[in-house]
Structure 1
Amino acid sequence: MRPAQGLGYIYLSLLAALLLTIIPLPYQMTLFRPDWALLVIIYWTLALPRKVSIGTAFVVGFLTDILVGTVLGVNALAFSVVSFIVAANYLKIRNFSMLQQALLVAMFLALYQLLLFWLSHFLTGVNFRPGYLWPVLTGMLAWPWLFWLLRRYRRQLKIQ
């Protein structure tokens, strides 16, 4: 398999995550939607840090800004910060158990949500609501399943 083909499959999974980010849900469910794009970025940064890292995270974050309609650059910066931390510590994180990884992913998601709030607060004056942290819990619960699914995807398609 050529390296470019492997990147195509990675970008396809990121596109699927972006679609899951914007798929319409009932209003009550939108509060609980996990941050799919960030979860997929975290997985690929852990699995293949030389192919998917800060630059890819910035582009996917910028696309998320466009699709969701937030201030341009807010998601891009938050994705980049989380991706940097994951890329800097990927060897340690890989050795953690799935429970430890899920708790660490919850901390990354909480950092992401707090960065989003902080930037939005200074740019548009929004106020903090505890409901902002629901995606942290749902993302933590979705992580083992998403990890298993993307790992299987990566191994079956021999993405390296």
Structure 2
Amino acid sequence: MIMPAGRPLLLPANPRFIAFTLLLALLVNMLLGLTGLRWLPDVLAIVVVFWNVHQPRRVGVLLAFVLGLALDVHESALLGQNALSYVVLSSMALAIQRRLLWFPLREQALQIVPLFIVAAVLEWGTRLIVQDAWPHWSQLFSPFLQAALWPLLGALLLAPQRRAFAPDDIRPL
């Protein structure tokens, strides 16, 4: 793939770093779930979509399914409710990942909003069918907060790949 002009070349992502960020996002999601605030963003969904876009061969639909099941078990929710939304979110992210990489992180956030909205609607629909529970109005903010966090988390997750491999005075890259 030809990179757009002015973009820095990135080092390959370390698989341990990817695993660490996914585990950390899962733990943050579990801690945020304990607060009971419904409007908080789904950090795990953001990180899964980010790695789906930037490392599609390492993080795919199967890993999204397993992480969704882990979150379902933690929340004591319907088994597969979060897993279904993560699988749909992951497959949609994989479908647009080539086009998404052409844009900077701020512009990517605008294109990610529909993905988060579809995943939230799917989760709300599942909850409505099974538990007969209407979504709270504050949950409508969550997909937009996730998109707002996309540039920040993207910059943090790309930071280790931007460091110089062997910096010296001759090679400034």
Class of the TM-score when normalised by the shorter of the 2 chains: 0.7 to 0.9
The answer to whether the 8 Å contact 2:38/2:136 transfers is no
**CA shift at 1:123, angstroms?**
1.2
Counterpart contact for 1:31–1:134, Cα < 8 Å: no
Q: Once the 2 structures are TM-superposed, how far is the Cα of residue 124 of structure 1 from its aligned partner?
A: 1.2
Which of 21, 42, 48 is matched with 2:29 structurally? 21
* Counterpart AA for 1:45: N
- What is the letter of the counterpart of residue 114 of structure 1? V
- 2:14 is paired with a residue whose SS is helix
Alignment of 1:61-100 (within 5 A): 61-100=68-107
Q: Displacement of 1:154 after TM fit?
A: 4.2
Q: 1:136 aligned to 2:143?
A: yes
Deviations 1:101-153 (A, max 9, x none): 11222221111110001111111111133222121121121111000000113
Report the number of matched residues.
Answer: 153
Structure 1: segments with no counterpart, 5+ residues: none
| Between structures 1 and 2, the one with greater helix share | 1
Tell me the alpha carbon deviations over residues 56-95 of structure 1, each in whole angstroms, 9 at most, x when there is no partner.
Answer: 1111111111122211101101100110011122100111
Matching residue of 1:35 = 42
Q: Quote the Cα distance in structure 2 between the aligned partners of 1:31 and 1:122.
A: 19
Amino acid at match of 2:17: Y
Q: Structure 1 stretches (4+) deviating beyond 2 angstroms?
A: 5-9, 24-27, 96-100, 153-156
* Max Rg structure: 2
Q: Name the CA distance, whole Å, in 1 between partners of 2:74 and 2:161.
A: 26
TM (normalized to structure 2)? 0.79
Per the alignment, residue 6 of structure 1 pairs with 14
How high is the sequence identity, in percent, across the aligned residues?
26
Corresponding residue for residue 147 of structure 1: 154
CA distance in 1, matches of 2:152, 2:28: 15
How far 1:100 sits from its partner (Å)? 2.6
Correspondence for 1:115: 122
